[in-house]
Amino acid sequence: MGIDPNFDANLEKVGEENGVDVWGLVDPPEKLGIHGTHVAVDYDICLADGACLENCPVDVFTWVDTPGHPESEKKVEPTYEDQCIDCMLCVDICPVDAIDVDASRD
């Protein structure tokens, strides 16, 4: 099951990390929530294969360390989500559907 495309309506914004909104249940290291708003990454299902980071034409993503998380020890942060051109490449390439892009969520 991938990221909830309606997370902004179904979850509470619980804070900010690295200048990016964080949504949902956060209880490190196991639960890290959804990071980002326009470009959102569900940290709890992200496998950190890096395909989104390597293929994004405008370099929206950066690596952040997530020590102890059961899926991976690092994640992609949508640090520059304001630069997103809505090409949806990251959404299409993510093997676990951990990314959602929606320009109406700014």
Look at strands 13-17 and 99-101 and give their pairing.
Answer: unpaired
Rounded CA-CA distance 91/78 in Å is: 12
Q: In the prediction, which pLDDT does 96 show?
A: 97
Per-residue pLDDT tens over the stretch 40-90: 999 999 999 999 999 999 999 999 999 999 999 999 999 999 999 999 999
* Mean pLDDT rounded to a whole number for the chain: 97
Q: DSSP assignment of 24-62, as one string?
A: S--BTTTB--EE-SSEEEETTT-----HHHHH-TT---E
pLDDT > 70: percent of the chain: 100
**What does pTM read for this prediction?**
0.96
Architecture of domain 7-100: 2-Layer Sandwich (3.30)
Per-residue pLDDT, 73:
94
Domain edges within the chain: 7-100
94 is annotated as contributing to ligand binding = yes
| 56 labeled binding residue | yes
52 known member of a binding site: yes
| 90 labeled binding residue | yes
